[in-house]
């Protein structure tokens, strides 16, 4: 892929409001096709491995289609599907690597919680008395670590926010290099992306609240029925899963559109306007 590396003046980044409003417009103008893809993607997650790879490719397809609209090169669903399907297993590899990165980041905190829990449980089990100074020190450390971990999580999420876009759009990218590509593109812009994430979360809350209320009511009803028939417990879990997937399918096209806008913005500013979809020049 060729980029305009010598642009005489840098392209100014889109404002937070512009990014979010562009994502909303993309979501609304292609609501039917994007929702159809999202529901299709989440149906595949019930099939291990192959279905998970398929789900990742379809979600990336939504972002690819949105990016095509942004660079004024609209693409058919089938045309985009052909491209992302050819790299389906690379999306699976990317997903595994990102899962591993997430576990690695959570591991130190998990070890700390495990040590603290074992210490307190062991002291109580042996009848030993706990030093108030130790309790205070551990409590303060935990109180500090939780917000630090939350902020670190947001920062890391921002750095990998567009991780599937290079693999879906660019040439010569695989499931490993797309992670490094996202890290490079978002360098120096993590906190702006965090602000975009925060606003986007606020926008999706009204969509998810009704499903949360319905799920809570149904689970309360089925929990009371489960006391007489254990089959209702399974039905409660199944309905909760279905409602969760429906809720996710409704909001994920919006998120994939936001990702496409952020990716477009980052690439435009870093590499000029010589953008293209894989195998198709603008």
Domain annotation covers residue 120: yes
Domain annotation covers residue 217: yes
DSSP state of 4: -
Q: How confident is the model at residue 274 (pLDDT cuts 50, 70, 90)?
A: low
Higher pLDDT, 196 or 142: 196
Specify the range with the lowest mean pLDDT, choosing from 46-50, 110-114, 138-142, 223-227: 223-227
pLDDT number for residue 65:
97
Nearest CA to 159 among 93, 90, 101?
Answer: 101
Q: How confident is the model at residue 26 (pLDDT cuts 50, 70, 90)?
A: very high
Domain count, the chain: 1
- Summarised one tens digit per residue, pLDDT across range 59-98 is 999 999 999 999 889 999 999 999 999 999 999 999 999 9
Please give the average per-residue pLDDT across 160-170, as a whole number: 96
Q: Which helix (H) or strand (E) holds 36?
A: helix 31-44
Domain annotation covers residue 93: yes
Range of the domain at 201: 16-271
Domain annotation covers residue 201: yes
Q: Is the pLDDT of residue 193 over 70?
A: yes
Domain annotation covers residue 7: no
Please give the average per-residue pLDDT across 168-193, as a whole number: 94
DSSP string, 51-117: HHHHHHHHHHHHHHHHHHHHTT----HHHHHHHHHTTHHHHHHHHHHHHHHHHHHHHHHHHHHHHHH
pTM: 0.82
Phi, psi of 277 (to 5 degrees): -85, 155
pLDDT number for residue 127:
62
Domain annotation covers residue 30: yes
Domain annotation covers residue 83: yes
CB-based burial of residue 257 (10 Å sphere; 0-12 exposed, 13-18 middle, 19+ buried)? buried
pLDDT number for residue 275:
53
> Facing residues of 277 across strands?
280
Please give the average per-residue pLDDT across 151-162, as a whole number: 93
Local structure of 215: helix, strand or coil: helix
Domain annotation covers residue 276: no
């Amino acid at each position: 892929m060729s980029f305009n590396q010598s642009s005489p003046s840098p392209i100014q980044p889109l404002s937070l409001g512009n990014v979010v409003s562009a994502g909303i417009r993309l979501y609304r103008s292609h609501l039917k096709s994007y929702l159809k893809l999202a529901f299709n993607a989440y149906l595949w997650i019930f099939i291990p491995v192959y279905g998970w790879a398929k789900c990742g490719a379809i979600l990336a397809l939504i972002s690819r289609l949105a990016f095509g609209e942004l660079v004024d090169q609209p693409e058919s669903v089938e045309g985009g599907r052909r491209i992302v399907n050819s790299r389906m297993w690379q999306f699976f590899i990317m997903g595994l690597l990102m899962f591993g990165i997430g576990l690695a980041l959570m591991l130190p905190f998990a070890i700390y919680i495990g040590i603290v829990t074992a210490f307190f449980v062991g002291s109580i089990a042996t009848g030993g008395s706990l030093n108030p100074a130790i309790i205070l020190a551990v409590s303060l450390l935990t109180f500090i670590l939780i917000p630090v971990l939350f902020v670190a999580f947001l920062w890391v999420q921002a750095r990998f926010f567009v991780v599937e876009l290079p693999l879906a759009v660019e040439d010569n990218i695989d499931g490993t290099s797309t992670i490094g590509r996202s890290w490079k593109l978002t360098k120096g812009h993590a906190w702006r992306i965090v602000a975009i994430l925060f606003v986007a979360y606020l926008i999706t809350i009204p969509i998810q609240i009704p499903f949360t209320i319905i799920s809570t009511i149904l689970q309360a009803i089925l929990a009371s029925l489960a006391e007489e028939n254990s089959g209702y417990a399974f039905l409660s879990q199944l309905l909760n899963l279905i409602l969760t997937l429906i809720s996710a399918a409704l909001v994920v096209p919006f998120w994939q559109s936001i990702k496409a806008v952020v990716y477009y913005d980052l690439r435009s500013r870093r590499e000029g306007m010589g953008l293209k979809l894989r195998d198709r020049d603008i």
